[in-house]
Amino acid sequence: MQSGRAVLCSLGWLSLSLLSLLFPAGCARPANLSALRGREELLPPEHLNGVRLERDGHLNRELPQELFLGRERERFEEDSQPRRNRRKLVGIFSKVDRNNDQKISAKEMQRWIMEKTEEHFQEAVQENKMHFRAVDPDGDGHVSWDEYKIKFLASKGFNEKEIAEKIKNNEELKIDEETQEVLDNLKDRWYQADNPPPDLLLSEQEFLSFLHPEHSRGMLHFMVQEIVRDLDQDGDKRLTLPEFISLPVGTVENQQAQDVDDDWVRDRRKEFQEVIDANRDGIVTMEELEEYMDPMNEHNALNEARQMIAVADENQDHQLELEEILKTFYPLPTR
């Protein structure tokens, strides 16, 4: 088993993408440099299912699993028995193969990817209902910035009643610099999610856009602006290849980390040149990055489908047969 994982780590981005579906622990990636978040915190998630980049600009290494397995992903991760996972994969194959010709075409895979993306969207909607109730104590269907700030600071360990009283009386809040910086960033996102005419009150739908920018074109655009701002080194609001592949400061600490980072840079170069830079001019504009980031973009789904098929397409007919998938991902052990 270990030798199989070593082989996976030597493959390029396309192979790594789909093979990581079923071997999620096979290759590591550089640690996400964002501050650690407690589950109880009412922060917009750093990781968005079905979106190609994390909020900090890292490639979403979980994307193939999310697009192919959808809600089945956890069942695969929890089950260490290859034979059972082979049976699950057979079941998924039959669902993707709409015309029952025992092959998966790029169009069939594209349709499946769009369905799984919609699943993730619906999951986010359900989670948002729970989070919205938590920050809307009076149940009036709207959340003010102050209401949200009180709940957020309470989740960080501040006394909720004291914070609420100080905000009510316009008293100064004694907040550490890091927490204040997070609050400032959240307030920027809050303003962006507040549809015109702005009233600083978010409805449940606006709160969904605040937590999940992929649900709103305007918020997706704002997320793209944040990513470009963080990666853009010369201030021209566009990304060159060197800017996109630059390693964050302090990423490399030892040789093992260096090996991972070499893979990370190679993968980002490939993604930039072959996917994100649509017109191949060596520059990624905000418009190009926004199209790339849009999880409901059918052209992106078709590209993902073709990439997934290419990984296991042994006979090069641009379709996947069940045996090709099983042989690639869950070969039966030989004695």
pLDDT in tens, the chain (335 residues): 434 333 333 333 333 344 444 333 333 333 333 333 444 458 899 999 999 999 999 999 889 889 988 888 877 777 777 788 888 889 999 999 999 999 999 999 999 999 999 999 999 999 999 999 999 988 999 999 999 999 999 999 999 999 999 999 999 999 999 999 999 999 999 999 999 888 989 999 999 999 999 999 999 999 999 999 999 999 999 999 999 998 765 444 544 555 557 888 999 999 999 999 999 999 999 999 999 999 999 999 999 999 999 989 999 999 999 999 888 876 766 55
Cα dihedral sign, 65-70-71-76: negative
Q: Are residues 218 and 240 in the same domain?
A: yes
59, part of any domain? yes
Q: Are residues 150 and 11 in the same domain?
A: no
Asked which of 202, 233, 248 is the last residue of a domain, the reply is 202
Q: Are residues 268 and 324 in the same domain?
A: yes
Q: Are residues 84 and 192 in the same domain?
A: no
Q: Are residues 121 and 63 in the same domain?
A: yes
Q: Are residues 41 and 110 in the same domain?
A: yes
Asked which of 202, 222, 249 is the last residue of a domain, the reply is 202
What's the whole-model pTM score? 0.80
207, part of any domain? no
335, part of any domain? no
With 0-12 / 13-18 / 19 or more C-beta atoms within 10 angstroms meaning exposed / middle / buried, residue 100 is exposed
**Given this model, what pLDDT does residue 29 score?**
37
Q: Are residues 220 and 267 in the same domain?
A: yes
Residues in contact with 61: Cβ distance below 8 Å, sequence separation at least 6, in sequence order:
20, 29
In 3D space, the residue among 196, 173, 199, 200 whose CA is nearest the CA of residue 186 turns out to be 200
Q: Are residues 20 and 153 in the same domain?
A: no
For residue 148, what are the domain limits?
143-202
Q: Are residues 269 and 162 in the same domain?
A: no
Total structural domains within the chain: 2
Helices (H) and strands (E) in the chain, counts: 16, 6
**Given this model, what pLDDT does residue 256 score?**
56
Asked which of 202, 225, 245 is the last residue of a domain, the reply is 202
Q: Are residues 171 and 73 in the same domain?
A: no
Q: Are residues 195 and 221 in the same domain?
A: no
**Given this model, what pLDDT does residue 226 score?**
95
**Given this model, what pLDDT does residue 290 score?**
97
Q: Are residues 279 and 187 in the same domain?
A: no
10, part of any domain? yes
Residues in contact with 271: Cβ distance below 8 Å, sequence separation at least 6, in sequence order:
13, 59
